[in-house]
Amino acid sequence: MSNQKETLVQVRDLSVTYHTRLGPLSAVDHVSFDIYKGEILGVVGESGCGKSTMGKALMRLIMPPGEISSGHIIFDGEDVMQYDQKQLRDFRGRRISMIFQDPMTSLNPVQRVDEHLIEAIQVHEPQTPVEAALRRARTLIEKLGIQKERLRDYPHQLSGGMRQRVMIGLGLVLNADLIVADEATTSLDVIVEAKLLDEFKKLRDEFNLTILMITHNIALIAQIADRIMVMYAGQVAEIGDVTEVFDHPRHPYTEGLLRSVPNIELDEREELYKMGGEPPNLSRPPAGCRFHPRCAQAMPICAQREPELTEISPGRFVHCWLYQDHPQEVAHA
């Protein structure tokens, strides 16, 4: 990645609310961050922390009873929230595309691989003849390590790794500027997963892709991402350069998350750290900092007022009172 960071996406104050029988549930709560051109930004957090919902919101794919209840998504200077349905159709696929976790549910079982790819091209580029679309599909699929003869296969004839490569191919075939990969390698065994991660990096370099990689696997992010965003209970806990965050986590939740990753160098008598407590119910999140019931460093103010997401050093943002001035009389009450 070049040192000159050019912003592709600015997400500002983005909230997603689901209207449930128990009342509104704030799955993503006033989230703000940037995605730079050509980077791999890893998004991590426990299940239910809002990372996948946030990825779908970037594509404006939130369906009722959910809605984007506030915020802006500025994509290459344009506010996606202002797009009408026609603009959205063009936006999805050409500018942003998503690779989902489970290829078996995303690929049509009665369509061959080449038919999937040709259809994806022709939906967005109806003027492209079938032969030209097929040539593109062939070149791409070979770059993804699948022999072109397999283009005539149905999804069930491919291995899990190949199916996931086809999904990646569908994400890349229109040269979208941003790929959102949502747990894209979770269903694969570790060897195939490691190979695919390498390929993601190569593809990023070759196509100058920007990738938002959503995963619960923080160790995976260490291998592939340039920056990392840690989410907790629908909010951003911390954002920064991946090495800095791994070496010096600032938010107590990030610290706990990193300590709970299995480490081969760990003394066998040492027990793996387990973070206490449970993530909150997002229909009734706790007041103040949402992490305070589980935080060993909580102060009185943490239960009363929510901290701001604060830039503590260039490019390093933390959502925690430990890094913000706060009224002493409340802090030491």
Cβ proximity to ligand SF4, 170 vs 301, nearer residue: 301
CB 82 within 8 A of CB 91: no
Q: Going by C-beta distance under 8 Å and a sequence separation of 6 or more, which residues neighbour residue 40?
A: 200, 201, 204, 210, 211, 213, 224, 225, 226, 227
Per CB under 6 A, does 321 bind ligand SF4?
yes
Q: How far is the CB of 237 from ligand SF4 (least distance, A)?
A: 7
Judged by CB under 6 A, the stretch of 57-65, 131-139, 182-190, 317-325 that binds ligand SF4 is 317-325
Cβ proximity to ligand SF4, 42 vs 288, nearer residue: 288
Cβ proximity to ligand SF4, 223 vs 304, nearer residue: 304
CB 231 within 8 A of CB 279: no
Q: How far is the CB of 318 from ligand SF4 (least distance, A)?
A: 8
Q: Which of 298, 312, 330, 331 binds ligand SF4 (CB under 6 A)?
A: 298
Q: How far is the CB of 182 from ligand SF4 (least distance, A)?
A: 26
φ/ψ of residue 11, rounded to 5:
-100, 125
Per CB under 6 A, does 96 bind ligand SF4?
no
Strands of 132-267, DSSP E: 178-182, 210-215, 227-232, 235-241
Cβ proximity to ligand SF4, 169 vs 240, nearer residue: 240
Per CB under 6 A, does 258 bind ligand SF4?
no
- Return the structure tokens found at 95: 């500018």
What is the enclosing helix (H) or strand (E) of 247? Answer: helix 242-247
Per CB under 6 A, does 61 bind ligand SF4?
no
- Of the candidates 274, 281, 275, 301, the one whose C-alpha atom is nearest the C-alpha of residue 289 is 301
Per CB under 6 A, does 250 bind ligand SF4?
no
Per CB under 6 A, does 292 bind ligand SF4?
yes
Per CB under 6 A, does 291 bind ligand SF4?
yes
Per CB under 6 A, does 297 bind ligand SF4?
yes
Rounded CA-CA distance 312/272 in Å is: 30
Judged by CB under 6 A, the stretch of 55-63, 113-121, 213-221, 291-299 that binds ligand SF4 is 291-299
CB 233 within 8 A of CB 291: yes
Q: Which of 18, 238, 307, 309 binds ligand SF4 (CB under 6 A)?
A: 307
Per CB under 6 A, does 320 bind ligand SF4?
yes
Q: How far is the CB of 301 from ligand SF4 (least distance, A)?
A: 7
Bridge partners for 9 per DSSP: 35, 75
Per CB under 6 A, does 302 bind ligand SF4?
yes
Per CB under 6 A, does 317 bind ligand SF4?
no
Using alpha carbons, list the distances in angstroms from residue 144 to 167, 201, 233.
10, 12, 36
Residue type (1 letter), 41 = L
Judged by CB under 6 A, the stretch of 22-30, 125-133, 265-273, 289-297 that binds ligand SF4 is 289-297
DSSP 128: S
- Of the candidates 226, 317, 214, the one whose C-alpha atom is nearest the C-alpha of residue 37 is 226
Binding site for ligand SF4 (CB under 6 A): 251-252, 289, 291-292, 295, 297-299, 302, 307, 320-322
